[in-house]
A and B are shown apart, each in its own frame.
Chain A
C-alpha cells in the first residue's frame, strides 16, 4: 500500500464501516438509504391506489388512509426527493471539482447518520400505528394539541428537525466544497452546471429550511409546553403556520427540481457530443429561479381570503418563474440541435422523458399560479396530478437518467441498456396512465386526500385507470432493481469514461480510489476531458502522510493553501445516536432536551479531541512561513 492509499484508507470491518468519513462511501450509502425510503413511500402509495380503485371501498379506513398519505408525502419530500439530490451531490461534487473529500468529512458522516435515524423513526412509528396523520404540510389547527391527540404530530415535527439538520449539513458541505476546493484553474465560469445547480440549491436550503424549523418548533412547543402560537382562541393564528411552512415549502419544490436541471445539463451534452449551449444563460437562469422561488409561496394560499391585490403579486412571480425554466429547456433543445448525431442511450431516454412530462407539469403550474383558476383547481386531484408531473417528471426522471449515467462511476459496472429501455418505457407509460386522469378527476370535483368516494360521483373509472398506471410504475421499479442487482453480479468492469463525457469525475477510475485522484488535476477548460491533452497537468507536493486537500480561491480557483482534513472517527456516529435519543425523547417530555444535551455534549467533545499520532504527523510536515512562501511561489510558477 502506498502512503497515499494508507492515509485515505478506512479501518477494516464493521468499525471502518461505521467510522468512515469518505464522501463516496457515505454518499453511496445515502443514495441507497433514500432509495429504500422511496420504495417504502411508493408502497404506501400503492395501498392508497388500491383503496381508491373502487368507489366506497373498505380496504383501509380513514385512520390508516390519513397516515398513508401523510407518511407517503412526508417521506417522499423529506426522506427521498431533497436528500437523494444532496446524496448524489455529496458523492459527485468532490470528484467533479477535482478534490479528495468534502470540506467537513466528519460532519458529513453525522448528517448521514442523523438522516438515517430520523427516517427509521418515521417508518417505525408508522408501523406502530402512530404515524403522522395531518398531511405532509401538516396544517394547524388539525395538527395542534386540540385536534391531533397522542404523539403522531410530534413525531412528524421531530422528523422535520432530523431531516432539516441533515439537509443543512449537506448544503454547507456542498457550498464550501464547490467554492473552496475546486481544482486549480476551475474558475467559477468553468464549474460544471451540476455543481452550479447544487450550489444554488444549497443556498436555497440555507435560507428556506430555517423557516420550517421555526414553524415546526412552534408546533412542538404548542403541543408540548402549551404555547399558543397557532391557537386563535388565545390570540394565535392558523395562517402563521401556512406562511412559515410555504415560505419553506415552495423553495423546497425548486430545491428538488434545480439539482435535476443540473443533471440534465451534464447528461444531455454528453450524448449530443457538444458543450451545452448558453452556459452563462443557464447559470443566470438557475440563480433567477432561486430568487423567484422565495417570492411565490402565497400561491399555496390563494383560497385563504388574502387581499386580491397582494395575491396578484404572487401570481406575477409564479408565472414569471416559467421564464428561466423555459430558457433552460430552449438551451437544451439548441444543444441537441447543434450537436453531433444524438446517441439514444438509457440516460438520455430518461432526459427525453423529462421533456415530455415536465413541460405538462410546468404548463399546469402556470394555471395554478393564476388566482382565478387556482380557486377551482386548488386542493383537487388536478393539483395531485400537477405536483407529480413536476416532481416525478421534473426530478425523478432526470434522477433515473443520472442513475444510469453515473452508475458505472459509482460501482464500476454498467447497467443493462435493454433493461434500461424496459425500465424507461414502463415508467413513462405507467406514469402517464396513473397521473394524467387525475387532471380530469380534479376538474370533475374530486378533492384530494379523501379516503373514499361514492359510486354516484362518477369518479370510479378514472380512478381504476390511475391505479393500473400506478402498478405499471411499480413494475418498472422492479425492473430497475433487477437491473441493478444483475449488473452488480456480472463480471464486466466499466471503463473510466464509458460515455466519453467531459467532466473531471470521469478522469479517475470506476469506482474511484479512496483518495479520488492520485494527483489533483489542473483545469483550463469547461469541458476538460474533451479539450485537454492527456496526461493532464497536475498539482504536486501535497503531503501523502496526512489527508490533505488543496484549498483554492473562490472565484478564480488559484491555489490558496493546503488543508488537512479530519480522519475517520466513530464519534459522529455516536453523536448522531445521542442526538437521536434527545430528539425522540423530546416528543415525550421537554426535559429530554435538557438531559439529552449532556450525552450530545460528551460525544462532541470526543469528536473534537485531538489525536496524538496525527498531531505528530502534522508537526513533521510543518513548514516555516518563509519556506512556505517559497513553495507557493514555486507552485504558481509550475502552474503558469
Chain B
C-alpha cells in the first residue's frame, strides 16, 4: 500500500509521522495511568483518605497541563518546520473538478507548460509547490505518503508543498466530500529520478503521436468527428476543448477516470461506451458509437503515449 500516513516517503510526511508517534506514546501512557487509577479506585477494599484523593487530583491536573503544553508546543514547532518556504520549487497548478484533477506545470515560457490530468509526475528530492483551486465544489488534495491534505476551494487559491525522497508511485484521493463520485477521485503522484522526470517532461511537450495503422487513423477520425472534441484536447489535432481531461498522452497514465480502473485498451473502450456504468454520475456522457468505430477510437487513444 502506497497511501499510508505512517509509511512516509518524504521529509514532510516523516515530520508528521514522527509527531504522530510522539502523541501516541504520550496518549498511551496517560490512558494507562488514568485507567490504572480507575481500576484501583473500583477494586479497593478500604476508602482512600480525602486528603490523598484531593492531592492526587491536583497533581494530575498539574501534570495534564504540562503534558498539554508540551504537545501544543511540539505541534507548533513541527508546523513551523512544515511551513518553511521551499527553495527553488517546481510550481504546479492543480484545479479540482467533479471528479478529476486538472494539472498544469508552470513555466516562464507558455510553450513549455505541460497540461495533464489525474497523474502528477514529480522529480525526487525537489520541493514541489502546488497551487490549489477548484472550479465547482470543495475538494481536498491528500497523498498521505507525501504530505498532509489541503482543501481546494472555489474562489480561493491554497498552497501545499510536496517533497518525495525516493522514486515511486504514491496514491491519493480527494478527502473532502464532493458529491456523487467522491469515492472515485484518486490522484497518482509518481516520483521520478530527476533525469527521468526531465525526459518525461520533454516527451509531454510534444504533440500527440501520429496513428501508426489504418485502424488507429480511423479512430482519430472518429474522435475528431464526434462529440469527444466538445470537451477534450489532443495536442497536434483540432481537438482543443478544456472541459475534460487533456488526452494528448492519455496512454501513458496508470489509471483511467481518476483512478476508477487500470488503464488498458479494454477498460478504455468500456469507459468510452458507457462511463455511467463504471462511474455513475460522471459528467462524461455515454457515446453512441458503432462497434468498429469504438474499437478504432480505443486503438487510437491507446497509442497516445
Contacts and interface: CB of A to CB of B under 8 A. Distances in A.
Check if A and B associate.
Answer: yes
Interface of A: 61-63, 66, 134-135, 139, 141-142, 146-147, 232-233, 237-239, 277-278, 303-305, 308, 311-312, 315-316, 319-320, 322-323, 326-327, 329-331, 333-334, 336-342, 352, 355-356, 359-360, 363-364, 366-367, 370-380, 442-445, 447-453, 457-458
B210 to A, nearest CB: 34
A135 B50 contact: no
Contacts of B27: 363-364, 366-367
A339 B47 contact: yes
Assign chain B's interface to a size class: 35 or more
Contact of B40 (A139, A337, A375, A457): A337
B64 A323 contact: yes
Interface stretch (B116-124, B133-141, B240-248): B133-141
A370 B71 contact: yes
A63 B180 contact: yes
Interface of B: 1, 3-6, 13, 15-16, 19-20, 23-24, 27, 30-31, 34-35, 37-38, 40-42, 44-45, 47-50, 53-54, 56-57, 60-61, 64-65, 68, 71-72, 75-76, 78-80, 82-83, 98, 136-138, 140, 142, 144, 147-151, 153-156, 158-159, 171-183, 280-281
Q: Most chain-A CB neighbours within 10 Å: which of B45, B172, B180?
A: B180
B64 A66 contact: no
A364 B172 CA distance: 23
Given A372-B148, A447-B173, 6 more contacts: A147-B137, A327-B64, A337-B48, A339-B47, A366-B71, A371-B75
Contacts of B24: 367
A319 B68 contact: yes
B23 A330 contact: no
B158 A373 contact: no
A620 B19 CA distance: 75
Q: Most chain-B CB neighbours within 10 Å: which of A303, A445, A457?
A: A445
B112 to A, nearest CB: 28
Nearest to B76: A312
Nearest to B170: A445
B175 A379 contact: yes
A271 to B, nearest CB: 10
A319 B23 CA distance: 12
Nearest to A61: B280
Nearest to B153: A238
A305 B61 contact: no
A320 B64 CA distance: 10
A338 B138 contact: no
A329 B35 CA distance: 10
Given A62-B180, A304-B153, A338-B50, A447 B175 contact: yes
Given A63-B281, A359-B34, A373-B19, A316 B72 contact: yes
Contacts of B173: 445, 447, 450
B182 A305 contact: no
B50 A370 contact: no
Contact of A453 (B50, B78, B183): B183
19 contacts: A62-B180, A62-B280, A139-B176, A142-B138, A232-B155, A305-B150, A305-B156, A337-B37, A338-B48, A340-B47, A359-B31, A363-B31, A372-B15, A372-B75, A374-B148, A376-B148, A378-B149, A453-B183, A457-B3
Nearest to A325: B64
Nearest to A144: B137
Contacts of B151: 303-305
Nearest to B46: A341
A264 B20 CA distance: 31
B48 A323 contact: no
Contacts of B31: 359-360, 363
Contacts of B155: 232-233, 237-238
Nearest to A62: B180
Contacts of A453: 183
Contacts of A333: 34, 37-38, 41
B171 to A, nearest CB: 7
A363 B29 CA distance: 11
A142 B35 contact: no
Given A62-B180, A305-B156, A366 B23 contact: yes
Contact of B53 (A277, A303, A443): A277
Nearest to B50: A338
Contacts of B76: 312, 315
Contacts of B138: 139, 141-142, 238
